[in-house]
Every structure is written in structure tokens, then in C-alpha cells.
């Protein structure tokens, strides 16, 4: 198997462990409680270990990768509470750098299991879908890449109606990116316009109302970032043919 697919498998383990096995309460509480941080560390390590053992033949090199990824993940999460600027983005960049480092050091010395070879062509699709759903959703929601007054991961406060509206908005974003993902995957670039048109019609009263101008701007930013993130995720994974 190519080195690229080995990196993709390591990334799948990271994304599953850091996003899909970490709920909002844990993400917020681990910055204040060592118990929650340790719990996240255990779940993350177990997830990464599960993906690695299911994908690669066991070896000493594989054990070193697991130990380094797990220990550094815990250390980065422990010290990130002292970072007051763009904690979400900085946190993920550091985790990615660790994955790249261990991949460069030992990726060429580990062997994938036989059945992994048969599904190798689907690995980039799996990773792409995992990234565009929850990680990208959280990146946009936290505002790290567009709200320059934002200081990082903060618990969401507000009424039940506000929380329900936020959850519904995030679900729309998930569905929007999934639809865009498959449209781009099958080369239906023009159909992306229908997503923007449908959302614009649904949100037209908010956009038209000058009293809600800020909310309308957030809607436009979120939509454009959402669709751009799908393209930016798929392109390096080789899932878009632009020739």
C-alpha cells in the first residue's frame, strides 16, 4: 500500500477519536477537569489503537506510533488551555504535525492487512466524508477562521430555542456538505448552484431584513465557508477531477 493511504488511515483514527468520540460536554469540560481530559485521552487512544490494529500488521514500529500519538495528544490538549488565541485551529495543527512526523519516520516500515488493500480506493472518500461533517462543522461554528474576535472553544449558552436553532443550523450544514461532496465526487459542479439557491430562498427574509444584517452576513459566511471547505478537503485527497 502507498504511503499516502497509510497516512489516510492514521488520519481516520485521529478524526474518529478526536471528533466523533468527543461530545460537546467533554470538549468543554476537559479544559477545566483533569478527569475529563484523561477520559478523552483514553477514548482517543482506544479509537486510534482500534483503527491501527484493524488496518496494520502488529509490529514494534506500530506500537511506537500509537504511544507517541497518544502521549502527545494528551500533552497538547493539556497545555492548550494556556493558549488564548484560536485554540481549536492551533490544537488541530499540532495534532496533524505529530501524525505527519510519525508517518514520515515509521510509515514505510508498517504493513497493512490484506483486506485493506481491497478497499484502498475508498479510503480517501471515507476520510473526506469524516472531515467535512463534524471537524469542518466545528471549525466554522467556533469562528476560528473568520471571527477574529473569537478566542477559541467556548461552551454554548442561551435558551432552549436558541440551542435548537443552532443544532438545526449545524444539521443543515452537515447535509449541505454531504450533498456537495457527492456532487463534486461525480463531477456535477453546476448542481452546486442549486444548494446555494435553495438556502438563499429559505433565508431570504433574514437577508432582506436590514435589522438582521449581522445574522445575514453570518449566514453568507457560513454557506461559502461550508462549500469551500468541501472543495478544499476533496482536492488534496484526489477526489476532484478538474482537468
Q: What is the pLDDT of residues 25-39, one digit of tens each?
A: 888 888 888 999 999
Higher local confidence (pLDDT), 193 or 58: 58
Question: Which residue, among 113, 109, 94, 2, has the nearest Cα to 64 in the 3D structure?
Answer: 109
Asked whether residue 117 is domain-assigned, the answer is yes
Instruction: Give the domain extent around 16.
Output: 3-121
The answer on pLDDT for 215 being more than 70 is no
Helices (H), 85-122: 87-106, 114-118
The answer on pLDDT for 194 being more than 60 is yes
Question: Do 182 and 72 share a structural domain?
Answer: no
| Stretch 229-237: mean pLDDT | 94
Question: Do 185 and 79 share a structural domain?
Answer: no
- Domains of the chain: total: 2
Question: Which residue, among 111, 116, 96, has the nearest Cα to 60 in the 3D structure?
Answer: 111
Higher local confidence (pLDDT), 232 or 163: 232
pTM here is 0.86
Residue 190 CB burial class (10 angstroms; 0-12, 13-18, ≥19): exposed
Q: How far apart are CA 157 and CA 163, in angstroms?
A: 8
| Stretch 47-53: mean pLDDT | 97
Q: How far apart are CA 77 and CA 26, in angstroms?
A: 12
Asked whether residue 151 is domain-assigned, the answer is no
Q: How far apart are CA 207 and CA 205, in angstroms?
A: 6
Report CA-CA distances (Å) from 172 to 103, 198, 235, 240: 35, 12, 23, 23
Amino acid at each position: 500500500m502507498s504511503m499516502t493511504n497509510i497516512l489516510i488511515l492514521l488520519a481516520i483514527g485521529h478524526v474518529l477519536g478526536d471528533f466523533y468520540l468527543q461530545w460537546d460536554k467533554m470538549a468543554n469540560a476537559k479544559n477545566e477537569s483533569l478527569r475529563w481530559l484523561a477520559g478523552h485521552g483514553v477514548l482517543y487512544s482506544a479509537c486510534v489503537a482500534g483503527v491501527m490494529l484493524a488496518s496494520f500488521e502488529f509490529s514494534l514500529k506500530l506500537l511506537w506510533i500509537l504511544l507517541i500519538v497518544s502521549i502527545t495528544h494528551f500533552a497538547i490538549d493539556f497545555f492548550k488551555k494556556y493558549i488564548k488565541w484560536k485554540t481549536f485551529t492551533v490544537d488541530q495543527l499540532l495534532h496533524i504535525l505529530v501524525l505527519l512526523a510519525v508517518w514520515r519516520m515509521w510509515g514505510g516500515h508498517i504493513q497493512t492487512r490484506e483486506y485493506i488493500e481491497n478497499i484502498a480506493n475508498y479510503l480517501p472518500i471515507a476520510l473526506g466524508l469524516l472531515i467535512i461533517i463534524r471537524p469542518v462543522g466545528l471549525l466554522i461554528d467556533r469562528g476560528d477562521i473568520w471571527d477574529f474576535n473569537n478566542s477559541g472553544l467556548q461552551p454554548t449558552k442561551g435558551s432552549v430555542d436558541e440551542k435548537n436553532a443552532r443544532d438545526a443550523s449545524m444539521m443543515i450544514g452537515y447535509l449541505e456538505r454531504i450533498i456537495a461532496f457527492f456532487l463534486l465526487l461525480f463531477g456535477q459542479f453546476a448542481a452546486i448552484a442549486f444548494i446555494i439557491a435553495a438556502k438563499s430562498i429559505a433565508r431570504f427574509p433574514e437577508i432582506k431584513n436590514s435589522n438582521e444584517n449581522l445574522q445575514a452576513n453570518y449566514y453568507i459566511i457560513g454557506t461559502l465557508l461550508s462549500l469551500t471547505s468541501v472543495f478544499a478537503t476533496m482536492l488534496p485527497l484526489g477526489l476532484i477531477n478538474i482537468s
